Structure 1
Amino acid sequence: MYKKIMIAVDGSETAKKALQEAQNIANNYNADLCIVHCIKGEEEADRIEGNKVLESAKASVDALSVETRLLEADILYGLESISTVIATAVKEWGADLLVVGTANRRGLERFVIGSVAEQLVSKVESSILLVRPES
């Protein structure tokens, strides 16, 4: 069913849980796995930290075919830019499934901060698996 699975990580515990789900699905379907991390800025320190997140994520999976991509969002556009960059990567790579963790915010916090995962639902044409944090 799935041949190409993309997982967006940010180093959080929820992202780690989502990565485990993506790995399980990739192994069950013998699918390729692409781990992406989006940085907000063009500083070398941002790239170094972003690559550390990707290296840690890649080291924690046991899938047949894994690649990583560091994505760069325009800091001026906040979450909107992050979701757009991830959605573009999904389309360019041809992912059948995007796996992403969600912070599970509620009420005013969700209204003020928003959610990258929520924005991705409206931007990505492939299937999306949202992984919630442990409760």
Structure 2
Amino acid sequence: MYSKILVAVDGSESAAQALTEALRLCAALGAGLTVVHVIDNSYLRYEVGYVDLTDLRTSLIDAGQMLLDEAKAKAAASQVKCTTLMIDEVLALGDVATAIEQAARQAGAELLVVGTHGRRGVRRLLMGSVAEGLVRQCRLPVLLVHAPVPKVKADAEPAQ
């Protein structure tokens, strides 16, 4: 079935769920896993005056490396062969979906696993959707994994 799977992580709960699902698939199929994190450089589109962005870039890279290190540790705990990849392409200016698709092609992935927040309406319009971009443009199969739904307290009163 699938021998190479790529999962994208960004620190969100839905990406954590996508990693868990990708690890389950890899363990069941004996597949290798590539974990990718894309530094979102979209902040470079906006005029920020005379602010030094060096610290911001450094913190984005450090946070991305931490995510990749954590993912690699989870893969090792699941006995899944794993490689990691950080993409920091300044010229992409926030086109995260294209960067992930290119990484998947370069890694020889046969399945792409990504988390989705399930945003709709104005929230999706304003924030965009990497997952939607991948589903629209990617020629690989894409598995979308939703973040867990928050649990409602049992003693909450029903809405009227």
TM-score in terms of structure 2 length? 0.77
Alignment of 1:44-63 (within 5 A): 44-61=58-75, 62-63=78-79
In structure 2, what residue type is equivalent to 1:15?
A: A
Question: Is 1:97 the counterpart of 2:99 in the alignment?
Answer: no
CA drift of 1:76 comes to 6.8
Percentage of pairs with the same residue:
39
Structure 1, 45-54 or 102-111: larger mean CA deviation: 45-54
Could you give the per-residue CA deviations for residues 85-121 of structure 1, whole angstroms, max 9, x where no partner exists? Answer: 1110011111000000001101111122110000011
Structure 1: segments with no counterpart, 5+ residues? none
User: Is the alpha carbon distance of 1:63 and 1:7 closer, same or farther for their aligned partners in structure 2, counting shifts above 3 Å?
Assistant: farther
Answer whether contact 1:26 1:63 (CA < 8 A) is retained. no
Answer whether contact 2:101 2:134 (CA < 8 A) is retained. yes
Could you give the per-residue CA deviations for residues 45-104 of structure 1, whole angstroms, max 9, x where no partner exists? Answer: 3222211111112212313310100012437733xx111111100111110000000011
Equivalences, count: 133
Larger fraction in strand:
1
Structure 1, 19-28 or 67-76: larger mean CA deviation: 67-76
Which of 72, 79, 85 matches 2:99? 85
Which residue pairs with 1:29 in the alignment? 29
CA drift of 1:19 comes to 0.7
Answer whether contact 1:73 1:82 (CA < 8 A) is retained. no
| RMSD of aligned residue pairs (Cα, Å) | 1.7
Which residue pairs with 1:121 in the alignment? 135
Answer whether contact 1:40 1:75 (CA < 8 A) is retained. no
Partner Cα distance (1:69, 1:97) in 2: 16
Structure 2: segments with no counterpart, 5+ residues? 42-53, 150-160
Name the larger-Rg structure: 2
Partner Cα distance (1:76, 1:91) in 2: 17
User: Where does structure 1 differ by over 6 angstroms across 4 or more consecutive aligned residues?
Assistant: none
In structure 2, what residue type is equivalent to 1:16?
A: A
Answer whether contact 2:40 2:93 (CA < 8 A) is retained. no
Which residue pairs with 2:50 in the alignment? none
Secondary structure of the corresponding residue to residue 60 of structure 1: helix
Secondary structure of the corresponding residue to residue 148 of structure 2: coil
Which residue pairs with 2:84 in the alignment? 68
Secondary structure of the corresponding residue to residue 93 of structure 2: helix
Answer whether contact 1:22 1:99 (CA < 8 A) is retained. yes
